[in-house]
Amino acid sequence: MSSIPVPVNIWQDGDDVLRIKWSDGHDSVYSTGFLRKVCPCAECDGFRTQKPGLRIITGPVVTSVKAVSAKQVGRYGVAFVWSDGHSHGIYSYTSLRQFCQCERCVEGKEEG
């Protein structure tokens, strides 16, 4: 049995909140804009770090984005399709837990 919790339910909660219920009972809360901003794909990483040759803008800048769908990738991550059409990033379970913006996790980060 894996010691890493896995998502058991993922849903869009309103216009700008995504929630994940984990196998260990934790309920994560995320700003969809934040998750989209930290997309781990090569294109987005290149845009964030402004690496030469990778700064490509293919459409209008979207300030509000929703998760249209989510798909499990292997035994380690989730790929979202965003309302701006982007779908290349694979968010590992570990990074999703680290990105959690619920009150309990945010308070824990401030203490440590």
Q: Are strands 90-92 and 77-82 parallel, antiparallel or unpaired?
A: antiparallel
Q: What is the DSSP string of 6-32?
A: -EEEEEE-SSSEEEEEETTS-EEEEEH
The owner of tokens 């779908």 is 87
| pLDDT tens, residue by residue, 68-82 | 999 999 999 999 999
- Give the residue extent of every domain in the chain: 7-111
| pLDDT tens, residue by residue, 55-65 | 455 544 556 88
Answer yes or no: are the C-beta atoms of 27 and 102 closer than 8 Å.
yes
Answer yes or no: are the C-beta atoms of 87 and 18 closer than 8 Å.
no
**Torsion sign (Cα): 38, 95, 25, 76:** positive
Of the candidate CATH numbers 1.10.3720.10, 3.40.1670.10, 3.90.1150.10, 3.30.2020.30, the domain formed by 7-111 belongs to 3.30.2020.30
pTM given for the model: 0.81
